[in-house]
Structure 1
């Protein structure tokens, strides 16, 4: 049976509704000093604004070691009504400070940790690989949701640098592939400035991950529709999340890009998210424009350009397909829940 694994349990893909494929509720990184997302009440306010603007599901894309809070995420999901998919895996190496225990882990240790997060619940596994820097709050615990059940991740994530893959990042890609082969969980890869998409797909394919199970995050930072059609022809999902980044390019560039990719028949490979990811950009923390910029500001322009049916397919059908676990032996006996179960 097809299912999406959320922080409150497994649900049918058909119940997700409009989905933001990439956001963060909790995140702490030495690269983002002063922009920490570490207050549950403020993050809950932000999530409620997103839900109130018509988005009914989201991916919480913070992986291991960057201050994620699976239990807090589950409480936010229960309080707001948002379906939330949590993430395991690891980001690009630059996000981890010197001496972080995760960076020293072997590929086998990483794979075991990611698999446990997906199947058993998010916890420190093996010992010493913590959700935050060594000694930080949250290390060494099993996160339980409001119902008292473990909070399980529903997505695997890896990250690479700009046209570079460090030894650690290569181990993460291998570990993500191993966990995917066993579970069938979907895979997201952070591409720095949209670089090295073909190279990542080649590496994952060689490790047994079909490109059709992979979303290339931030690929719109290199707004090249011809290249994106190449990725889509391989089966990959295209993660577009660069709206409201006006220092780099106007939203019209992203609208043109979506239009061009749809014109080539690849609209079903598109995913949209905000990836706002900064305290100073969240309304709940006193900043702007907030997560709700996507539904309130960007989507009306996209509907006017391409029509509501195209937007519905991008916002509802494509993320449901991407987030669905394929049938593997790694997910025995799961129960697909209706909302509120």
Structure 2
């Protein structure tokens, strides 16, 4: 199933990929939240650090019609930026990289001591002058709220957004705290809701919050097949149906969110297109599938980048 933006469909100017800026209409089918490389002290022995395995995932995604993968791995978590352009060229998949910072628990004291020291400038440099440039800013909330670390990193992310136009992608811990994030980023820090992508909403099946966030204008990412500790698959269809029936299909994004080496032996990136895409087409129709896999990411991840 190949898709492209239809003539006359409005998208913003470009998505910043690791090979340069790409007209948003050329993204194709998009995995809106995934990881090719990832390292965290919370996941000892489960690092995503195998280049061959990353290439195999991208090729499998491409063979099923995939066009773009958005890697949400932020600074200090083994994102391996230098590897990404070669992978994009070899596999034919566009890759969008991230700057930003995750929750404090993912870092040692050497990183955390520098959180207030030029963080916004580091994000801006990653987005505008680095040899391999990021195309989004990844930050994270806490469980049902925001701690001081989250507030500081989100303030830096908002500053970098205002300087560059880059979208901000937010890890919501177990899918919670969406409105706290929007209150801070959009209400206090002046980020337009349409420049915010809220991740992991499928992990908290709170339809009222989903609808509030969609009405506010944010993008809602439902990312990842069920893990052993959070059964989300059956709830996903209920959540997406509720959003579609309320007229918010234009706010939905889908992703795989592969985070551990063990997950590479499971569904992986291809699951999004091999299993989920046909099931959604049967349930909600081809137009819905095309919108959430192609049209929505083309708008969510595009910006008028400074030259």
1:103 corresponds to 2:112: yes
Q: Which residue of 2 aligns with 1:157?
A: 138
Contact preservation (8 Å) 2:60, 2:270: yes
Which residue of the other structure, out of 289, 311, 316, is the alignment partner of 2:289? 311
Matched residue SS, 2:42: helix
Matched residue SS, 2:253: strand
Q: Which residue of 1 aligns with 2:77?
A: 66
User: 5 Å matches for 1:213-224?
Assistant: 213-224=195-206
Q: Give the direction of change, closer, same or farther, for the CA distance of 1:42–1:228 in structure 2 (3 Å limit).
A: same
Q: Can you list the C-alpha shifts for 1:118-141, whole angstroms capped at 9, x where unaligned?
A: 0001xxxxxxxxxxxxxxxxxxxx
Q: Which moved more, 1:161-170 or 1:207-216?
A: 161-170
Distance 2:155 2:269 in 1: 32
User: 5 Å matches for 1:263-302?
Assistant: 263-282=245-264, 287-302=265-280
Distance 2:228 2:250 in 1: 26
Q: Which residue of 2 aligns with 1:85?
A: 96
How far the C-alpha of 1:165 sits from its partner, in A, is 2.5
Distance 1:18 1:274 in 2: 13
Contact preservation (8 Å) 2:202, 2:235: no
Q: Which residue of 2 aligns with 1:10?
A: 21
Q: Which moved more, 1:34-43 or 1:183-192?
A: 34-43
How far the C-alpha of 1:226 sits from its partner, in A, is 2.2
The runs of 5 or more residues in structure 1 that have no matched partner are 122-149, 333-341
Matched residue SS, 1:115: helix
Matched residue SS, 1:107: coil
How far the C-alpha of 1:117 sits from its partner, in A, is 0.2
Tell me which stretches of 4 or more aligned residues in structure 1 moved more than 6 Å.
Answer: none
The runs of 5 or more residues in structure 2 that have no matched partner are 1-11
Matched residue SS, 1:88: strand
Q: Which residue of 1 aligns with 2:4?
A: none
Q: Which residue of 2 aligns with 1:183?
A: 164
1:49 corresponds to 2:30: no
Contact preservation (8 Å) 1:244, 1:251: yes
1:194 corresponds to 2:147: no
Distance 2:139 2:35 in 1: 15
1:173 corresponds to 2:126: no
Distance 1:187 1:78 in 2: 26
User: 5 Å matches for 1:73-152?
Assistant: 73-97=84-108, 99=109, 101-107=110-116, 109-121=118-130, 150-152=131-133
Q: Give the direction of change, closer, same or farther, for the CA distance of 1:105–1:95 in structure 2 (3 Å limit).
A: same
How far the C-alpha of 1:266 sits from its partner, in A, is 0.4
Which residue of the other structure, out of 180, 192, 215, is the alignment partner of 1:210? 192
Matched residue SS, 1:10: strand
Aligned residues: 295
Q: Can you list the C-alpha shifts for 1:17-41, whole angstroms capped at 9, x where unaligned?
A: 1101001011110111111011111
Q: Which moved more, 1:86-95 or 1:49-58?
A: 49-58
Contact preservation (8 Å) 2:175, 2:203: yes
How far the C-alpha of 1:164 sits from its partner, in A, is 3.7
How far the C-alpha of 1:326 sits from its partner, in A, is 3.6
1:31 corresponds to 2:42: yes
Distance 2:228 2:63 in 1: 25
TM-score normalised by L of structure 2:
0.93
Matched residue SS, 2:86: helix
Distance 1:320 1:57 in 2: 10
Q: Which moved more, 1:152-161 or 1:249-258?
A: 249-258
